[in-house]
Amino acid sequence: MPVKWVLYWQPNQGSTVSTQILNEAAQCAESISGVKEGRWKATLNYYKPLLRDQSSTHHPDSLPRDFLGISLPDHPAKYYFIIRSQRIVVEADASIQIIMEKLQSYKSKVSLHFDGFQYHLGDFRLRVGRVVPVHSESIRGIVMEVEYLPISSMEKARKVMEEFVEIWHEALSKRSLSGKFVNVELNFGEFGLADNYTPQHTGVQYAIVMAHMIATVQPAVRG
C-alpha cells in the first residue's frame, strides 16, 4: 500500500479555519497540474463509555477518553479503532460496529465527516477536505492527505514526501493564507506498526491529527 501522510491546517494565531482556505488549497492543487479525480469521504466517531450508575465512581478513570473509530474510503469493508493514549490501533471488519452496538457498553458521542476532492499529480495523489460534524455545516478543520503511489516503505518515501510538501508549501504561500498545513511526526512503532504502510497507519494519523486540531484550531462559526 502506498505511503500516505495526513496533514492538517493550522491557522495563525487569531485566525480561524474557513471554507475559503479549502477552496484556495483546491485551486493550488490544480495550479501545480493536479488532475481532479472526484470526491472522497471518511467518517470518524468518538466513543464514550455508558455507565449503568452514573453516580458510581466504579472504574471511571480506567476507561479511555480517547477511544475512536474511523472508516476509510479506500477500505470500505473495514473499520479502525484507535485508543491514542494506550497506543492501540485495531483493524476489524465493518461488522465490528454492529457488535459494539449490541454490547451497549460504548456509544458514539461525536461523529465527524472528512470530505473534499482528490487530485492526481504524477506519482502523487492528493486529497484535500474539510472536517465537519455530522448533520452540521460548521467547518471544524481542514485536512490533506498526500500519498506517494510507488512506495510502501515509510522510510524510503520520507525524502520524496518532504520534497513534495515543500513544493506544496511554496505554491500555497503565494495565496497569502493565514496558516499552514502541518505534518505531525509520529512514532508508529509505539502502536506496533512496522515500516510497511498499512491502513492502520492512516487511522493512527487521523487520531493524532484530530487531537492536535482539537487542541489548536478554533472552530469557525459557519463554514
Partner 1 sequence: MVLFHLLVSTEILFFCRLITVSVCCAEGFVRSEEDNSMECVVQGIIETQHVEALEILPQGLCGVQRERLRVHELTLKSLPNLGVVPSEVRLLCDLDQPEPTWTVKHVGGSMRGAGADQISVMVRTMIQSKVSKNALRMFYSLGYKLDHELLKVGFAFHFQRNAHISVSVSSVSKMPKIHAIDETVPVTPGMQIVNVTASATPENYGLCTCRNRLNPWELCRQLLRLLHLLCRMEVVLHCKKFEAKS
Q: Based on the shown chain and the rule CB under 8 A, indicate whether residue 92 belongs to the binding site for partner 1.
A: yes
The long-range contacts involving 48-51, CB below 8 angstroms and separated by at least 24 positions, are 48/106, 48/107, 48/109, 49/105, 49/106, 50/104, 50/105, 50/106, 50/107
Look at residues 189, 177, 191, 184 and name the one whose alpha carbon lies nearest to residue 210.
184
C-alpha span between 221 and 223 (Å, rounded): 7
Phi, psi of 48 (to 5 degrees): -125, 150
| Residue among 12 and 104 whose Cβ is closer to partner 1 | 104
Instruction: Give 12 or 54: the residue with its C-beta nearer to partner 1.
Output: 54
- Contact (Cβ atoms closer than 8 angstroms) between residue 146 and residue 126: yes
**Residue 117 C-beta: closest distance to partner 1, Å:** 25
Q: Which of 98, 134, 184, 194 binds partner 1 (CB under 8 A)?
A: 98
Binding mask 105-144 for partner 1 (x = CB under 8 A): xxxx------------------------------------
For β-strands 3-11 and 179-183, DSSP reports them as: antiparallel
Q: Which stretch binds partner 1 (CB under 8 A): 18-26, 88-96, 137-145, 153-161?
A: 88-96
Q: Give the single-character DSSP code of 3.
A: E
| Cβ-based nearer residue to partner 1, 31 or 85 | 85
Nearer residue to partner 1 within complex by CB, 1 or 160: 1
Check binding of 165 to partner 1 (CB under 8 A): no
Residues 39-78, one symbol each (x = binds partner 1 by CB under 8 A, - = not), give ----------xxxxx--x-xx--xxx--x-----------
Among 33, 36, 41, 99, which residue sits at the site for partner 1 (rule: CB under 8 A)? Answer: 99
Alpha carbon distance 211, 164 (integer Å): 25
Maximum Cα–Cα distance across the chain: 59
The phi, psi pair for 57, rounded to 5°, reads: -100, 15
Shortest CB 12 distance to partner 1, Å = 37
Question: Which residues bind to partner 1, rule: CB under 8 A?
Answer: 49-53, 56, 58-59, 62-64, 67, 81, 83, 86, 88-108, 192, 200
